[in-house]
């Protein structure tokens, strides 16, 4: 039995509440801002925040596992 729309809505609301005060933006921000913050918690995609493989290559574990 799969999870339904109610579960998805619950998880979305939970994240909106949890990330309510991320990045110094007040928790009483507009619903649109709350939604954007819930879906994209990272600030940017720079070398410090972004995907590690894109900026630094494979992890040590991945390099060791190569044949």
Average pLDDT over residues 31-41: 79
Q: What is the pTM of this model?
A: 0.52
Arithmetic mean of pLDDT over the chain: 81
Q: What is the pLDDT of residues 8-28, one digit of tens each?
A: 999 888 888 887 776 666 666
pLDDT at 1: 53
Task: Check if the beta carbon of residue 35 is closer than 8 Å to that of residue 16.
Answer: yes
**What tokens were used for 25?**
């933006």
What is the number of residues in the chain?
67
| Inter-CA distances, 26 with 20, 29, 34, Å | 7, 6, 10
């Amino acid at each position: 039995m799969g999870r339904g729309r109610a579960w998805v809505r619950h998880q979305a609301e939970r994240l909106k509440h949890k990330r309510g005060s991320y990045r110094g933006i007040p928790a009483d921000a507009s619903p649109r801002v709350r939604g954007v913050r819930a879906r994209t918690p990272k600030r940017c995609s720079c070398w410090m925040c972004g995907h590690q493989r894109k900026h630094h290559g494979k992890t040590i574990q991945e390099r060791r596992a190569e044949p």
